[in-house]
Chain A
Amino acid sequence: MRLAVPAAVAVAFLVVPLIGLLVRAPWTRLGELLAETAAVDALRLSLLTATSATVLSLVFGVPLAYVLARSRSVLGRILRALVTLPLVLPPVVGGVALLLAFGRRGVAGQYLDLWFGVSLPFTTMGVVLAETFVAMPFLVVSVEGALRTADHGLAEAAATLGSQPFDTFRRVTLPLILPSIGAGSVLCWARALGEFGATITFAGNRPGVTQTMPLAVYQAFQTSPDAAIALSLVLLLVSITVLALLREWWLRPGGAR
């Protein structure tokens, strides 16, 4: 029972702030506050960019996870360390790095501007990139783990039945790791939704263009704390919904059926 006390402290520490949010919420003026902070715009932008970032992460992250899971070489290990770096990197640093790479004078950005006339910073696309940068490693790590523990014997069985490697991936491996891809996507999406540091550094805080919910909360807090609380409640609601979906996924018997 010596563990009960610190456990209780942890629970209190995690739950009390949420209670605070609910207790102090200006319930009666909620609609009015949300309207004046342009919460709908921010929420729409947040959902759009977080979903886009998740789709990008799926399209590029799942193949990357496959390559990493297959590689046994030193290069693979180095690659894995590099890819997971954004997991531990402070997002603000990520934002600065993105600016130096894809900014107008950035290492790659100057050519995007010169050749295609594309400028990413301070655009909605910039928000998506910042969120993808921070969130994709979550998906890659969880899918790679699933691929590593996936039964290699089944891929061998597919091969001896005449299945070429890509078909084996599509018809055997992918369906088997679907639950992990689902869980990884939800994690990735939630991380993208809450992304603040990289976004504000790389994409700025332009209402309707790059101002996502977390940025809107931050800005509202400077002037009208009640509005910030109202926006926070909306994000809390979204988070709870995601958690419920995630549990649903984990508790589903048999995974990929």
Chain B
Amino acid sequence: MSGLAGSRGSGVDLGLRADVKLRRGSLDLDVALDVAPGQVLAVLGPNGAGKTTLIRAIAGLAELDSGSVMVRDEVWEAPRDGVFVPPADRAVGLVYQDYRLFPHLTVLDNVAFGPRARGASRAESRRRAGLMIERLGLSETAARRPGEISGGQAQRVALARALAAEPSVLLLDEPMSALDARTRIEIRSVLREVLAQFRGPTVLVVHDPLEAMILADRILVVENGHAVQSGSPSAVARRPATEYVASLVGLNLYRGTLVDARSHRVDLVGGGSLIAAGRGPTDTGISALGAGSAVLVAVRPASIAVHTHKPEHGSVRNVWAGRVVGLDLLADRVRLDVDGEIDAAVDITAAAMVDLGLTEGASVWLSVKATDVVAYAAP
């Protein structure tokens, strides 16, 4: 195989399959992903995890050390075989975080840039750009330059420009991070529509888990250059594999060991133990696991109850003492930070906080029903 885009295989559209291995400074990226045609994969992760580099690698802007990038039945990159298709010859549509619109061209010419660069005539390029601009509701901005349009419009122009080039793969790098909350909601629905109509595979880097849930079919969580979890949005939300994911989806997460498979008792790594009898609709719970298995335990902050005295004579199985170290007034509730035998974030109503007279430093008792404690095998 030499460096050709057309190393054809079976002719079956396999979507995007990438095995990205590269080092850049302190980043050691090693992530494999597989996105079927029409599917949207959201890549979620903290800053510096390597999400943007992953997208750049697929586009050919960051060269792999090893691994491969394959799209449809074409090999775009395979260092071992000496294959490297330059960025201009990969049919990707990359929407950059900072849009990167050409400041000297009008909106129409920005969108026409891709077709023109790939060999269409000026008239044909403009015709295609015009259609795309209309589709994204940008007709009135067509003659303006990027400096004369709003952030939301610039985002849509960036999207239109990427789509007008008729890419086989769509790559979106935090497409909404530079927008204010209102515009974000508007762009989110535009994006949903565009992604639903796009027939190729899409990789979407996002910071906000909510956006991942709304826009993606699957979520891949990347931390420190490595994939730590992958699955459907609901699976990731219900069973976070790391503290980062748990904090994103707003769950308390504990590591522990299943001590007794019959009573569902889990001893936690940080001390304390919880009885975990909860299970999701499709879960088998931990019944299938043997004693001694490493498990993760997730507890929703709202399912933890707060008491000023030790609750007795109740059915609640999990009770422990703690001290309030932080009070956070959220929009519709109060988030308590409680240190104790088991540290936990607890959500209560503002009324409850006032009734209980909770302040920072207050001693409290926490309780949670065993059925609200979900344990699952640690990945």
Q: Are A160 and B92 in contact (CB under 8 A)?
A: yes
Instruction: Say whether A110 faces chain B, with CB atoms less than 8 Å apart.
Output: no
CB within 8 Å for A257 and B104 given contacts A156-B61, A156-B87, A160-B87:
yes
Question: Which residues of B (57-110) have their CB < 8 Å from a CB of A?
Answer: 59-61, 86-94, 96, 98, 100-104
Taking a contact as CB atoms closer than 8 A, the residue among A158, A165, A254, A256 that contacts B113 in the complex is A158
Given the interface pairs A153-B96, A167-B117, the reply to whether A159 lies near B88 with Cβ below 8 Å is: yes
Query: Does A119 interact with chain B (Cβ within 8 Å)?
Result: no
Within residues 192 to 217 of chain A, which ones have a CB less than 8 A from any CB in chain B? none
User: Nearest CB to that of B114 among chain A residues?
Assistant: A161
Query: Do A163 and B61 touch across chains, with their CB atoms under 8 A apart?
Result: no
- How many angstroms from the CA of A172 to the CA of B88 in the assembled complex? 14
| A 221-257 contacts with B by CB, 8 A | 254, 256-257
Query: Chain B's nearest CB lies how many Å from the CB of A178?
Result: 8
| Contact indicator A256/B100 (Cβ below 8 Å) | no
Q: How far is the CA of A176 from the CA of B103 in the complex (A)?
A: 8
A160 x B59 contact (CB < 8 A): yes
Closest to B103 in A: A176
Q: Say if the beta carbon of B205 comes within 8 Å of chain A.
A: no
B165: CB under 8 A from chain A?
A: yes
B161 interface residue (CB < 8 Å to A): yes
Residue of B nearest to A153 (CB): B100
Within the complex, the shortest CB–CB distance from B93 to chain A, in Å, comes to: 8
Give CA–CA (A162, B102) in the complex, Å.
15
The answer to whether A163 and B117 have CB atoms under 8 Å apart is: yes
**For residue A167, which residues in chain B have a CB less than 8 angstroms away from its CB?**
117
- Measured CB to CB, the closest approach of chain B to A189, in angstroms, equals 24
Asked whether, in the complex, the Cβ of B113 is within 8 Å of the Cβ of A161, the reply is yes
With A156-B61, A257-B104: A162-B98 Cβ-Cβ less than 8 Å? no
Given A156-B87, A158-B113; 8 other pairs, CB 8 A cutoff: A153-B98, A153-B100, A159-B86, A160-B59, A161-B165, A162-B165, A165-B88, A256-B104
Q: List 25 A-B contacts (CB under 8 A).
A: A153-B96, A153-B98, A156-B61, A156-B87, A156-B100, A157-B96, A158-B113, A159-B61, A159-B86, A159-B87, A160-B59, A160-B92, A160-B94, A161-B165, A162-B114, A162-B118, A162-B165, A163-B88, A163-B113, A163-B117, A164-B117, A167-B117, A172-B102, A256-B104, A257-B104
The 6 closest A-B pairs by CB, nearest first: A163-B117, A157-B100, A161-B114, A162-B118, A159-B87, A162-B117
List the interface of chain B (C-beta within 8 A of A). Answer: 59-61, 86-94, 96, 98, 100-104, 113-114, 117-118, 145, 147, 161-162, 165
